[in-house]
Amino acid sequence: MGRKRDEQQGSHPVRLSEAWVPENCPNRIMITNQLGGGKVLGYKCSNWLRREWHGSLRTFNQNKSWEFTDVIKIGKRTRYECDLWFGARKEFHFDELEIYRAASNPRCNQIRQWAARPDGIWFRKDHDKPLGHVLPWKKR
């Protein structure tokens, strides 16, 4: 009765596994170019559904972001990974960086910001906290 009543009142929860998540509960991934000096950050990202995004961030503090809702089913979870690079012939790179993976229970309003700086990859998952250095660049 509760589910049918909610649907009649305009609240449309999405059933994911055994959990209920409202449709208006997006999570967000953001990639930011903080390389400076006119350096271009290249990216190629994909999700668990094999959808791909690729491009480049050409200016300092330019962002690419995605919003989505967690999907959690037996054997499948929301997951995104990216290859990031800069320099001649992708000299500095990081391949298959897992930038988001759903927990065992759906989450709402999560943020994952990944920033490329000259010394490596920086990360935060809280708007109120500063980015922290997590990975150095690999060099070809």
* Paired tokens of 22: 């409202």
Q: 104 CB contacts (<8 Å, ≥6 apart)?
A: 72
Domains of the chain: 27-135 (2.60.40)
d(CA 84, CA 122): 12
The residue ranking higher by pLDDT, 98 or 1, is 98
Residues in the chain: 140
Is the four-CA dihedral 122, 123, 129, 133 of positive or negative sign? negative
Q: Is it the case that residue 111 has pLDDT exceeding 80?
A: yes
Shortest CA distance to 93 belongs to which of 38, 47, 35?
35
The model's confidence at residue 107, banded by pLDDT at 50, 70 and 90, is: confident
Q: 124 CB contacts (<8 Å, ≥6 apart)?
A: 111, 113, 130, 131, 132
d(CA 100, CA 112): 7
**pTM of the model as a whole:** 0.75
pLDDT digits (tens, 9 = 90+) for 39-88: 999 999 998 778 888 999 999 999 999 887 777 676 677 778 999 999 98
